[in-house]
Amino acid sequence: MQDLVLFWDNMTVEELIKKYYTKNGFLLGTDTVMEALRPNCLYCLDVSGGNFKIVTWDKSNKQDRPSSQEIKEEYIRHKAIKETLEYLHKKGISYDIL
pLDDT digits (tens, 9 = 90+) for 39-92: 999 999 999 888 899 999 999 999 999 999 999 999 999 999 999 999 988 988
pLDDT of residue 5: 39
- Residue type (1 letter), 55: V
DSSP structure class, residue 65: P
pLDDT of residue 82: 94
CA distance 51 to 90: 31
CA distance 38 to 28: 16
